Every structure is written in structure tokens, then in C-alpha cells.
Amino acid sequence: MKLDTVKIKGLFSRVLNNKMDGTDQADIQTYIKKVFGDGGTTPDPSMLHQFNNLVVEQADEIAKPKVTQLLSLLANVQQEKRGNIKEIKIPKKNKAKVIWSATGSGVDLVRVEGQETVPAVPKTMSTGFYYEPLDLVTDSIVYFNKLVNDIADAKIRLYLDKIHQLTASAITAGKIPAKNVQTGSNLTLQQYNKVASVLQRYGGKPIFVADTLLIDYFAFQQGTDSTFKNFLTEEVKGELLTALNPTTIGRTTAVNLTNPFTDDTNSKVELPVNKGYMFAGGVSQKPFSVVEYGGLRQLTEQDIEDERIKMKIVQDASVNLLFGEAIGIIEEQAAVSI
């Protein structure tokens, strides 16, 4: 027996946005107990499906601004309905031609820019998820918020995982110039700066996106490098001393990834901690194109052995690397690890 979807959606939204009114806390506890009982009984399948659908819908709304904020650094992001096919317009660089002006002098046209289009064919990205009904029944507000936010973060990691795969393949195939890649052991700030120098020619301040461990590795070299340490401002010194996530590395801006532990021993994380990406900031030509087809979807089952609720989170999207020359890859193979 399903309950009023519109009312439940409104309740979920108020809880997630800390805008609960007088009875909302009691209402969500009551609703969760209607779905899961005391946490040890088998939920009604239709109510469980409704609950999970609404949870994923709320997670998608939370994820959208996060996805847009992060992906817009490295990709042109577009939305499209499922069932449609979006055409991606790609500027095509043509070789220069010589024409003659009215005075008879030659005019060398450096570039003539046209366009071509390619279809953004959607592929299905998915990841697994599970939760314990007893947690939701015992502490409804806390675990409900955690469940929704964990699913939102999982969506972001779906895209980042796809980008990791694409860049690895592109490096192997030679689609990313060698000057854009620094891979090795005990990389220095000078090597980091070589990649930044390449990308700054595209315009804008380069942006480095990586796990906080790799950002720290390069950020703290600013205090010991024989050249950089002479130019450290008091602001940067203060940031290195107290900031949870440093944002300044030389002439680049650092952006850290959400990359939580995935085991009980704090020894594994979702994404590589030793690999980061650099992009030209504030320019229209992004290396990636992302077309998102529809929103997050979910499939649900309950394991009769451990009584966990298991969900498959699915997103249809087209993720393409269009301009390998506009991305930098930095991978530290020795000094950075969990």
C-alpha cells in the first residue's frame, strides 16, 4: 500500500533542508516504521519501492548542483530527455590559408574555425548500494540524511570513475600530448608547474582536481622548494598551516574530491588518491562533453540472509573526451597513498 507520494516528497525535502515544521520529525519516524516495521520484518514491496524511488529522487536533486559545479570545471554539461539523442557540436580547426587583400599583400589567416557534430550516445553507468533498515528505524533523521547524501555522492563518483577510464585509455592511445602528462615517483613542484604552464596558454588560471592527499603533497612543497618558498605570501602560509583543504598551488587553484573510505579499516577509497587532473580555467573549450539523459534511477532487492536493502543506482549519460590537448594528468606513483 503506497502513501501519498507528493506529501512524502515534501516531507523528505523539508527534512533534508532542515526546514522541518512542528510534526515533521514525528511524521518521518512514523512513515519509516510503516515501511520497515521494527527493522526486523520484511517491508511491503510496494512501499519499499516507493521509499527508495523518493530517496533516489531527493539524492539526485542534491547531486545536481554538486555534479554541475565539479564537472563544469572540465566539461560542457548538458541535459537531455531519455530516448532522445543529443548532437555535440565540435569546433574543427582547419589549416591556415593565404588570401590576398585589396593592396596585393598576403594575409596569413592563422586559423579558420568550422564545426562538425557527433551524436552523444548514452551509456548506462551503475553502482551498488545497501543500507540497514534497523538504522533508519532507530535514528530516522540522522540515517535518512546520511542515506540520501551518500547516494548523491555516489552519482558524482560515477562520472569521475568514467573520466578516469577515458583519460587512461586516451594516454595509452596517444590522444593526450606527452607535455600534458607527468607520471612518476616523487614528482616535484617544478614538474607540476610544467603541466600548468602548458594549460595556461589556453587562457584562465589552471585548475587542479584531485584527492586531498595529492593536493597536500604539492601544496606543502611550496614551503621547501628553493624558488617557490621565496614568493609565499602570508595568506598562502596561513592556508598551508590551518586550511583543511589548501586551494593554492603556485599559479593554480586546487579543488579536492569527495573520496570517502569504503571499508571498516580505513584502507580503501572510491577513487585513486595519487592521480589528479588539470584544466584551463574560465575557458569555453572544455576537454570533456557530458550529456546526462534523465535522472538517477534505482532497482531494489532485499537479501534474505543479512536483511540488508540492496539498491542498484543507474544513470544514463554520454561522457566523451573531445580535446585531449586541453587536459593535464599528474600521477604520483610513490609518495602518495592511503
User: Where are the chain's structural domains?
Assistant: 5-76+121-332, 86-117
Helix (H, G, I), strand (E, B) or coil at 132: coil
Mind listing the pLDDT tens digit for each residue in 57-96?
A: 999 999 988 888 788 888 889 999 999 999 888 776 544 4
Residues making up the chain, counted from first to last: 338
pLDDT at 55 over 80: yes
Please give the span between the terminal C-alpha atoms of the chain, in angstroms, as a whole number.
Answer: 47
Which set of grid coordinates corresponds to residue 229? 618558498
Lowest mean pLDDT among 43-52, 104-113, 199-208: 104-113
Q: How confident is the model at residue 54 (pLDDT cuts 50, 70, 90)?
A: very high
Average pLDDT over residues 12-19: 93
Q: What is the mean pLDDT of the chain?
A: 87
pLDDT at 97 over 80: no
Mind listing the pLDDT tens digit for each residue in 102-139?
A: 444 444 444 445 667 888 999 999 998 899 999 999 99
Contacts by 28-33, CB closer than 8 A, 24 or more apart: 28/140, 28/141, 28/144, 29/140, 29/141, 31/3, 32/136, 32/137, 32/140, 32/144, 33/137
Contacts by 170-175, CB closer than 8 A, 24 or more apart: 170/321, 170/324, 171/329, 175/321, 175/324
User: For the whole model, what pTM was predicted?
Assistant: 0.79
Taking a C-beta distance cutoff of 8 angstroms, is the pair 137, 33 a contact? yes
pLDDT at 100 over 50: no
pLDDT of residue 93: 59
Helix axes 24-36, 5-16, angle to 10 degrees: 120
**Sign of the C-alpha dihedral computed for residues 326, 331, 336 and 337 taken in this order:** positive
